[in-house]
Amino acid sequence: MTEVGHPVELDISRAWLVDPGTGREGPGELVVRGGVLESVGWLEGTAAAGVDATGVIVAPGFIDLHAHLREPGNEAAETIASGLGAAAHGGFTTVCAMPNTEPPIDVSAAVLAAASAAEASGSPVRLRVLGAVTAGRRGESLAPLGDMAEAGVAGYSDDGAPVASAVLFRSALAYAGSLGLPLLDHAEDVSHGGGGEAADGLISTVLGLRGSPPAAEVTAVARDLAILADVVRDVPTARLHLTHLSTGAALDLVRRARAAGLPVTCDVTPHHVALSDEWLAGARRFAWDAIDDGRRRDPWRDGAIVAPPYDTSTRVNPPLRAPEDAAACLAALVDGTADAVATDHAPHAEIDKAVEFGLAANGISGIETAAGLLLAAVDAGRLPLLRAIEALTTGPARVLGRDDVPAPGFVEGRPADLVVIDRAARWAVSPETLASRGRNSPLLGLELPGRVLLSVAGGRLAYRAPD
């Protein structure tokens, strides 16, 4: 049997192939020899009988624009090796690592060190490193963006500590643009939303948690877009990517900016699409079930509260928001306003979560549950399967641009890069089933649809489900 890291031999017959490269999906078969995709066949007529999208599906390997791998500095939470293992378990074959490590990845040596760690891990999952925007992520002066570009960064981000200075943000956007690289911004006015424990709204009021208002995200997005509009006049290659947008109003701004031709892209996370702030109160139902005629349902009235409140695994920034905002994130995914789904995988050691809610670290360990949450939306009839796969493959590839990653799709003669998922198989999310060192998931104890059977990155085995 092939071991992780080795070239795969595969004969997949009678599966549902989803090829976002061509927009085609349907019954088909694949042959991989020595890691190379030798042939792809689409089945028709009687050969296709009985094969549908609810069984085994095959898609290009997923690309995550936003993951925290914690190395160097917090290896108790995750390492590059464990993070890449978790990614492969989640169906991801390319992962962009955020630079908010200790010390931060803000010089080329740190970029190269991360790349070496990925190489040493033996995992075939591609690591693409994001460099910090500002030195030390302090928001005071530009990091050596050009040096880091030469070291191979995929873009820049001060995720977690948004660049507060408008002047510095403007410079970074222009400078990164001249290097042909995107700026990934965590859009939040910290003077407004900082210290928030929950989304400002019904749940924060009832639970007595400090609220982070949607406006803290919306005003930051408005600022970013206004600056982008200025910058692109002089630097037409400037590119802004807004990560983990979580409010309907911010997504509306992006929708309008794109209609006006601005070079802006954005992503939403699986948890902002599928979960909502009522999870902080102990509800455990999907966001689309928490809404009625466009208005939130009251979980105390519905009997939806089934778990104790204040579970710190639900604390995340941006916070889980009202079901109306979750519905807006889903709508943006469906209509393409959101180019990508990014996991914002934020593993934490238990010691940083087993504390009072207000003291708990922000973040959800989410790279292994991302596909399951999206498939739950597909199962609920809220999201076309092809759109879900696009947002995990061609969408993020477009955000990265250039030739950073092979264009997702089934192309004969190229190294196979794919994920095989049994949509009919549900799996229990538990500390034992997660490969990440971070077990901080609000989904622990629940079941998700879509078991990943196999992940193949660059022709080599990245993950195989235990029998």
Partner 1 sequence: MTVAAATATAWRHRHLLDVDVLSPGEIGLVLNGALGMTEVVAGGSARTATLRGVGVTTLFYEASTRTRVSFEVAARRLGAEVVNVTAGASSVTKGESLLDTVRTLEALGARMLVIRHSGSGAPYLAAGQFGGSVVNAGDGRHAHPTQALLDLYTLWRHLAPDADPAGPFLAGRKVAILGDALHSRVARSNLWTLTSAGAAVWICGPATLIDGFGAWATGGIGGSRPFTVTTDLAAALADADAVMALRLQRERMTAGLLPSLAEYAARYGLTRDRLSTARPGALVLHPGPMNEGVEIAPDVANGPQSVVTEQVANGVAVRMAVLELLNAARIAP
* 301 lies in the site for partner 1, by CB under 8 A: yes
Amino acid at 100: N
Number of residues that bind partner 1 (CB under 8 A): 27
- List 5, 103, 180, 358, residue binding partner 1 (CB under 8 A): 358
CB of 102 to partner 1, least distance (A): 17
CB of 356 to partner 1, least distance (A): 4
Of 359 and 428, the one with the shorter C-beta distance to partner 1 is 359
Helix ranges restricted to H, 235-304 = 248-259, 270-274, 299-302
- List 300, 411, 427, 435, residue binding partner 1 (CB under 8 A): 300
Note every long-range contact of 351-354, with CB atoms under 8 Å and residues 24 or more positions apart, other chains counting.
351/76, 352/77, 353/312, 353/313, 353/440, 354/312
Of 255 and 297, the one with the shorter C-beta distance to partner 1 is 297
159: closest CA among 272, 69, 257, 81?
69
CB of 387 to partner 1, least distance (A): 32
C-beta atoms surrounding 126 within 10 Å = 23
CB of 360 to partner 1, least distance (A): 9
* 356 lies in the site for partner 1, by CB under 8 A: yes
* 308 lies in the site for partner 1, by CB under 8 A: yes
Check if the beta carbon of residue 199 is closer than 8 Å to that of residue 212.
yes
Catalytic site residue from 344, 404, 417, 422 = 344
Q: For residue 201, give Cα distances in angstroms to 185, 224, 238, 299, 388.
A: 25, 25, 36, 14, 29
Check if the beta carbon of residue 60 is closer than 8 Å to that of residue 44.
no
Q: Among 24-32, 299-307, 333-341, 444-452, which window interacts with partner 1 (CB under 8 A)?
A: 299-307
Name every residue whose Cβ is closer than 8 Å to that of residue 167 and which is 6 or more positions away in sequence.
none
Residue with tokens 């005071």: 140
CB of 103 to partner 1, least distance (A): 22
Site mask, partner 1, residues 309-348, x = CB under 8 A? xx--------------------------------------
* 302 lies in the site for partner 1, by CB under 8 A: yes
* 357 lies in the site for partner 1, by CB under 8 A: yes
Is 147 catalytic? The answer is no
Check if the beta carbon of residue 68 is closer than 8 Å to that of residue 130.
no
Residues between 190 and 249 that touch partner 1 (CB under 8 A): 197, 200-202, 204-209, 211
Which two structure tokens, joined as six digits, stand for 299? 């979980």
Of 141 and 205, the one with the shorter C-beta distance to partner 1 is 205
Check if the beta carbon of residue 201 is closer than 8 Å to that of residue 246.
no
B/e letters for 405-434, b = 16+ CB within 10 Å, e = fewer, are bbebbbbeeebbbbbbbbbeeebebeeeeb
Q: Among 89-97, 231-239, 292-300, 372-380, which window interacts with partner 1 (CB under 8 A)?
A: 292-300
Residue with tokens 């609810």: 54
Of 233 and 301, the one with the shorter C-beta distance to partner 1 is 301
Q: Among 291-299, 407-415, 422-430, 457-465, which window interacts with partner 1 (CB under 8 A)?
A: 291-299
Catalytic annotation, residues? 344
Q: Summarize as ranges the residues that interact with partner 1 (CB under 8 A).
A: 197, 200-202, 204-209, 211, 297-302, 308-310, 351, 354-359
